[in-house]
Copies of this chain bind each other. A is one copy, B any other.
């Protein structure tokens, strides 16, 4: 029971362009999905997202479940109507928030109390109330939201867990995937599976095989970019991507830097989401064609140039670095929107350039040029 269509339109090496047709229109891949955790891409209104050319955004089931609940979001007509966004929405399952927002995170943390075969028992980060999230409840909530793409409710074990523990976790996650498949209704959107397995190539291959028994609309790679080295990340990513079916979209969850996106597209990934462009914007780190720019630096005090002379976003067409620095230093809230508009323009333009390079069979030249810039200009100190 597929609720989507996917066509690969161009291929260049492992990199590919595709058209993913969902209930709210076509998504051109490779695609980056801006994150709208609580039904709002922070600081932006839907007309801003239209101006950016976004075709799909991500919303978080965990936050919407606690803030609104299943019955209310259904009564309110679903998230599209609620937030007045008429293009596609992908929802995560809530699993990542419940299991994995661990030490060191600056996010508000839920408190995982107990994990059973039934699901995850946790306390709300908002009011301490007790909740049980199960595969069935996650799917019901995602259907109430009206998600165009739903994700299976899965466990995300720490990448360095014992292999036996990881295998047990994969088996449970597979049973939960099956419960999600059983729970979905004809009214729901597309459903993606999530391949786990930490940094073990063997487990990644095993789990991919387990998930192939279900006819998912797409497969995601979960549990990466959670603290492993760049080498471990790339080794696991490229191996796992190669295991995934070619005829379905491949989604790398929660990644990443601009260079990460280019490398992941290079091994055949089609979909991305990450809070980096939006969160960095609010922290004053702006992406530019020659690297990045920390707007609070005194060097920009009297700099009348735009953030990026090659950028056509409203912020760059209108304001100087000096003004944006002033807004940031004076803690003016207008800064958040202007910086977010710029950073998302950067990310969405990067995806557009990759799609063009793939269509013109020059992705390797694009990648080499891009990474040379990154090595020269990115210092790896990105404030995430």
Query: How distant is the Cα of A333 from the Cα of B42 in the complex, in angstroms?
Result: 6
A162 CB within 8 Å of chain B: no
Which of B68, B318, B334 makes the CB contact (< 8 A) with A40?
B334
**A82-B320 in contact given A42-B333, A43-B334 (Cβ < 8 Å):** yes
A76 CB within 8 Å of chain B: yes
A78 CB → nearest B CB, Å: 12
A332 CB within 8 Å of chain B: yes
Contact A45–B330 (Cβ < 8 Å): no
A383 CB within 8 Å of chain B: no
A327 CB within 8 Å of chain B: yes
Which of B40, B44, B334 makes the CB contact (< 8 A) with A42?
B334
**Residue of B with least CB distance to A44:** B334
Which of B75, B301, B326 makes the CB contact (< 8 A) with A39?
B326
**Residue of B with least CB distance to A340:** B333
**Residue of B with least CB distance to A334:** B40
A322 CB within 8 Å of chain B: yes
Binding site for B on A (CB under 8 A): 38-40, 42-47, 63, 67-68, 72, 75-77, 82-84, 301-302, 304, 314, 318-320, 322-323, 326-327, 329-330, 332-334, 336-338
Further contacts, 18 of them, CB under 8 A, given A77-B304, A84-B319: A39-B330, A39-B332, A40-B330, A40-B332, A40-B334, A42-B332, A43-B333, A43-B337, A44-B334, A45-B337, A67-B326, A67-B329, A68-B326, A72-B301, A76-B322, A82-B323, A84-B323, A337-B337
Q: Would you give 26 A-B contacts (Cβ < 8 Å), ordered by A?
A: A38-B330, A38-B332, A39-B327, A39-B332, A40-B327, A40-B330, A40-B332, A40-B334, A43-B334, A43-B337, A44-B334, A45-B314, A45-B337, A47-B314, A67-B326, A67-B329, A72-B301, A76-B304, A76-B320, A76-B322, A77-B304, A82-B323, A82-B326, A83-B323, A84-B319, A333-B337
